[in-house]
Amino acid sequence: MATIKTLKRSKKGDVYCAEVRIKGHPNLSRTFDRKSDALRWAEDTEHALRTVGYIGKVSPNDMLFDDALNKYLAETSSKKAGSTHRRELYQSRSLHYFSGRTLKEITPVLAAQFREKRSAEVQPATVIKDLNLLSHIYTTAIREWGVETTNPVSIIRKPKTPPGRLRFLTSAEIVRLLEESRKGHRPNLYNFILLQLHTGMRPSEGAALTWRQIDFDGRIIDLQETKTDPRRVPLTVPAIETLADLVPSSGFDCNDYVFLPKDPKMTHRLRPNQYFRESFEAAVKRASIDDFHMHDLRHTAASYMIMNGVDLRTVADILGHKTISMTMRYTHLLDDHKLKAVDRIASLGL
């Protein structure tokens, strides 16, 4: 449907904006000094979209993958949660494998070759994420941009989803890690680790924390931009105290980061937890802790909440799990509680 609007009036006359909106196509608009020109352009554009299906010399069916990727990141990914957009920006670098080809030229065979290449470089979970991003670009192009093509990811085999990792620290390991964290080149690594252990936040959520998000009186962290839905994370007294230790004596802006520098590198903006990566891994090594990653701090917090009697629904809310099934992976930690429960009826019938 075409519409003509008057944008402004001046001594030189009116300025007209012609806009064409047709379902399945991006909205098109252009300004003219004469209403007759605006009407003519709108009619011609609408006719071209309804008959030919596109405007200009290049059909959307000949869209280059590079253009599709940039369009997706700018128009679709940018509207997602900040953490998701940052992750997709980072992931998109691996998809440059398809540069120089049109969307139609990327076949299932080529997608499978990409899968094998990535499988030799990274873990299966990362390969799955890369394929999912590629698939979503095609889904968006087909449904929203009017590109007539097929999704090459839809019929290829994806790597088997690895079992969920569940490594958590013992009490002795926690003590050793915190002791060693004070010796790292990041002076606030200790505070970061302690906060993660007491909140179960994702590492990127904790590292990107700003002062605006902290309610000291209410003992709450307000997380609006998360991997799933916004949530409010309760804080223990030690967590509040460790945050209070970081408050600058000279004052601060509410938008300042708690852990990151005032103007962090782009790498740290995209993946905030990378700010602590090297220092954290060094502390883990000095503490003689095997097979432990930064994300396992989150598992440690969840595990101790479960073992201390916090119900699964509450744990799920604190962690920001979208479904309770994600929290169910910790239920084996309740085995001792279950044994004590059935021991209470051990005398039945005796």
Q: Which residues are annotated as catalytic?
A: 202, 227, 295, 298, 321, 330
Q: Any idea what the Cα angle at residue 238 is, between residues 285 and 212, rounded to 5°? A: 100
Q: Which residues contact 278 (CB under 8 A, 6 or more apart)?
A: 185
CB 145 within 8 A of CB 26: yes
Torsion of CA 313, 318, 320, 323, to 10 degrees: -10
Rounded to 10°, the helix 312-319/296-307 angle is 150
In the chain, the amino acid numbered 183 is K
| Secondary structure (3-state) at 212 | helix
DSSP state at residue 163: P
Tokens found for residue 16: 């007209």
DSSP symbol at 296: H
Distance in angstroms (rounded) separating the CA atoms of residues 165 and 184: 26
Q: Are 9 and 17 in contact (CB under 8 A)?
A: no
Distances (CA, A) of 49 to 31, 53, 274: 19, 4, 47
Closest CA to 91 of 140, 39, 128, 116: 128
Residue type, 313: R
CA–CA separation, 190 and 53 (whole Å):
59
The rounded distance, in Å, linking the Cα atoms of 208 and 186 is 15
